[in-house]
Amino acid sequence: MGRGRQRSKRGRDGQRRRFAANSTVLELEIERLGGRGDGLAEAEIKVGYAEETRPVFVPFALPGERVRVRPVADRGEGVACELIELVQPSPERIDPACAHFMACGGCAVQHLSDAAYRGWKRDQVVQHLRRVGLGDVPVAELHPAAPRTRRRADFVLRRIGAKLIAGFHERASNRIVELSECPVLLPEIFALLQPLRSLFEPVLKPGEGVDCVVNALDNGLDLLLRLPAHPGLGFRESLAAFAETRDLARISYLAGDETLTDAVPLAERRRPEIRFGGTPVTPPPGAFLQATRDGEAAIQNCVREGVGEARTVLDLYAGCGTLCLSLEDAAERVAVEGDDSLLAAIRSGADAAGLGTRLRTERRDLTQRPFAGKELERFEAVVLDPPRAGAREQCVALAASAVPRVVYVSCNPATFARDARALADGGYNVTGVTPIDQFLWTPHVELVATFERTGR
């Protein structure tokens, strides 16, 4: 069998093929940085008796670097490789900020210079727009994220034999990296890790684990624990004492496979609050928040500019009210969300702020029942902040509407580009996109895009 471009990616029974540990080491030059932060190149890979030209993915390698790698496993149409040796480094390579880099799964590109890093993140947005024929859309420079500003963490504690490990998951693994530092998190969040270890050291059995979700609110830390089972009275008292000692705003828990709606507050030392605009909101335990305060403010500013002087605004996927409550000058706002606890937080905050009928709430699954037709007629602007899957159905409905302005907040440039194409095909002009970094040294990039109706 000769050399070719056949794609025999799967082995017997369709299983993902892994290469032998003694596979031939390849030397190659990295061409570009991929969307996950891996270096990309093409190489001749020996598969059985054949050689195939395949894309290869090399973690921690940068464009222009000469590297020696070993194939590990199939990854889509390509092959994931292990970096064996850095033969010729890139001038953009710098020393990483954290001793756990390359083991901890939290960061992918701490070794990339700041200017190259910002360009790479912005370029992800540009490339996705180009793929759907929107390459001429103006994309602003990246709004950067600073170290030690992340206000949410998901710590993992697990007893492995006699030892309790506390930290984050390793890259592409269920193993846990025991952290001694984290240059990404707010210091007060990282400072909670070792006390959590001490709290659970006497109670976790071998194989048991606890997930700890920490949100930094405006008046303290909000801690949600996912426990193996419901705690007894004695440990409940220990948890309440922990909240007092660590000055937590609130501590709550889930047991086993319970969902967020089942979270039970164990101690609320003060009403947990986060302000959107001038409105204080109490989010439910473990609620989604924008990852940094600065990033949140940048998104809110872009949304306010995009909405402009609209007198009626529809906020879809409203969450806790991050966007609708920051639109202080809007005459009328309708916040739509599929989660009752999030809507209750918005409603409570709006009532306390005296917003009355100027802000209404509605529970709706927007995937199953998007706003469409006559429902959209009275709105001068629509704001949407969907999950990573995007808002395909809702954007199809908007494309058929006469809404003058749409402001789209996205955490996934790929699904955003798909939805932007639908809006553009419906007669909207994409007036600008602002990429916003909230997940420093990761591949994740968020954005705010504004659309204006033309020709209708």
CA distance 379 to 361: 15
Neighbours of 308 (CB within 10 A): 14
Q: Per the residue annotation, which of 81, 182, 212, 411 is the catalytic one?
A: 411
411 included as an active-site residue: yes
The residue whose two tokens read 């002087």 is 309
The answer to whether residues 317 and 384 touch, using CB atoms and an 8 Å cutoff, is yes
Q: Which residues are identified as catalytic?
A: 411
